[in-house]
Amino acid sequence: MIPSGRILLAEDNANDVELVLNALKQNHLAHEVIVVRDGAEALDFLFARGAHKARPEGSPVVVLLDLKMPKVDGLEVLRQIKSDPKLKLIPIVMMTSSREEQDLVRSYQLGVNSYLVKPVRFQQFVEAVKSLSVYWVLLNEPPPGSFFRTTYGGQTMRLGHPGEPP
């Protein structure tokens, strides 16, 4: 059985979702991704509530979190995760378009585990996403209680809004 759905990607922009999945495809991790399309949904998933109430137990081994999202932005998601005694163990990687000092400082204050400024050049972007996912998914030993060999939502692990591309 293929382990699936160990990465939670919170990203509002469909293009970015596709590009990240494309980058992950290169090291065969694309099927590992559960996609949520804004901060509110990310929190719903992590706290297993709302539409994600019935999801199997466990946490992603890493959350890739876009900084600028509608409804609840990445910093707020990060704050809520890190102030929950159980969820705070989950490694969080902040992904952002630009290196803003204030975001960087705030993220680390809130306890972010990694901070990636998405490079403009696609090859560099692919490299960055690849090494990031290899590290967090394959090399890093996740905290206890993380997803492992679990399925969710049948074959496909993507939990985007219905009708939208994954």
Partner 1 sequence: MSARKPNNPRRYTAHFVAMLVIGIISSALYLTQARPLELKLNKREAARVELFVGLSHHEVQAIANTLRVLACGEGWWAYLDSGRQADLNRAKRRAAFVSRHGDYGGGLRLLNLSGREVLRISPADTPVPSASWVDRSQGSPTEQAARFTQLRQRFLAVGLFLLALAAASFWGLRARARAREEMDRFFDLSVDFLCISSSDGYFKRVSPAVTDILGWTQAEFLARPFLAFVHPDDQAATLRAVERQQLRRETVTRFENRYRHRDGSWRILCWRSVPQPGGLMYATARDVTDAKRVEQALREANEELTRSRAMLQSLFESLPGLYLVLSPDLQIVAVSDAYLQATMTKRDEICGRPLFEVFPDNPDDPTATGVSNLRSSLDRVIQNRTADTMAIQKYDLRRPDGRFEERFWSPVNQPVLGVGGEMELIVHRVEDVTEFVLHKRNKDAVGSDDAPPRAPASFLAQMEKMEAEVFRSSQALQAANHKLQAVNQELEAFSYSVSHDLRAPLRHINGYVELLGEHLGSNLDDQARRYLTTVSESAAQMGQLIDDLLAFSRMGRQEMRQSSVDLNQLVREAVGSLQPEMAGREILWKIAPLPSVQGDHSMLLQVVLNLLSNAVKYTRRKNPAEIEVRLVRQTADEVTVAVADNGAGFEMKYVDKLFGVFQRLHRPEEFEGTGVGLANVRRIVTRHGGRVWAEGTLNVGATFYFSLTPVNAN
Residues that bind partner 1 (CB under 8 A): 13, 15-16, 19, 22, 67-68, 96-98, 100, 102, 118-123, 125
State the nearest-atom distance from the C-beta of 94 to partner 1, in Å.
13
The C-alpha torsion from 164 through 60 and 96 to 75, rounded to 10°, is 100
Based on CB atoms, which residue is closest to partner 1, 22 or 114? 22
**Cα–Cα separations (whole angstroms), residue 145 to 53, 112, 157:** 17, 19, 19
What minimum distance in Å lies between the beta carbon of 121 and partner 1?
Answer: 6
Closest of 121, 46, 49 to residue 76, by C-alpha = 46
Q: How far is the CB of 118 from partner 1 (least distance, A)?
A: 6
- Give the residue with the Cβ less far from partner 1, 83 or 98: 98
The distance from CA 33 to its chain's CA centroid, rounded to whole angstroms, is 8
